[in-house]
Amino acid sequence: MQLILASNSPRRRELLAQFHIPFEVSPSHFEERAEGLCARETVLRFAEGKAREVAGRYPGAYVLGADTVVCHRGEILGKPKDAEDAGRMLRRLSGETHSVFTGVCLIGRGKFLLDAAETKVSFPPLSEAFIEEYVKSGSPLDKAGAYGIQDGVPVSNREGSYTNVIGLPVELVERFFKEVCLC
């Protein structure tokens, strides 16, 4: 039984490896366009699009697609364009609560499973020194909302899945795998 992860994210690879199911990585070439969609609809559309695009190359395999965004006051914050954009996002989230949404899609062998997880995350006020050092590290540049919770970014409160904030809600993936008898 073949499992393909439709993502090149090292964080998703690490989280998926926790299931001890052999898998291959095949990044998707799905073009992400979601004008006018809310955060939940966006991640569902992107996760499905990524999974379907890769599934077309691997008939007979199970393909897992995922997409994560940060939503603050109704605005979707994806990956920053550059260091300046990362700093802007972090300043915006400083002292505020936002939601992290991850859509997950599992396709294969006649099965189609699609759902999303939401985690609410609150930051305390972040110092300018912290923001500058963190941005300088380069870590925020490949992460939705310009941060990785696993990087030690201060969090004053979290409601929901920790692994969702990293980029793959393992609880949701486990439910999908049980439905198709992968674990």
Q: How many residues does the chain have?
A: 183
CB 15 within 8 A of CB 168: yes
pLDDT tens for 51-79 read 999 999 999 999 999 999 999 999 999 89
Q: What is the CATH number of the domain that holds 27?
A: 3.90.950.10
Domain that holds residue 93: 3-179
Q: What is the pLDDT of residues 161-171, one digit of tens each?
A: 999 999 999 99
Q: SS in 3 state form for 114-150?
A: EEEEEEEEECCCCCHHHHHHHHHHCHHHHCHHHCCHH
Q: How confident is the model at residue 89 (pLDDT cuts 50, 70, 90)?
A: very high
Lowest-confidence pick of 63-67, 76-80, 85-89, 116-120: 76-80
The mean pLDDT value for 116-135 works out to 98
82 is catalytic: no
Which band of pLDDT confidence, cut at 50, 70 and 90, is reported for residue 42? very high
- Among the listed residues 67, 82, 85, 115, the single catalytic one is 67
Question: Apex CA 72: angle with CA 33 and CA 48, to 5°?
Answer: 35
| β-strands 3-5, 62-72 pairing | parallel
Please state the rounded mean pLDDT for residues 117-133.
98
Residue at token pair 């109704």: 74
Looking at the structure of the chain, the number of domains it has is 1
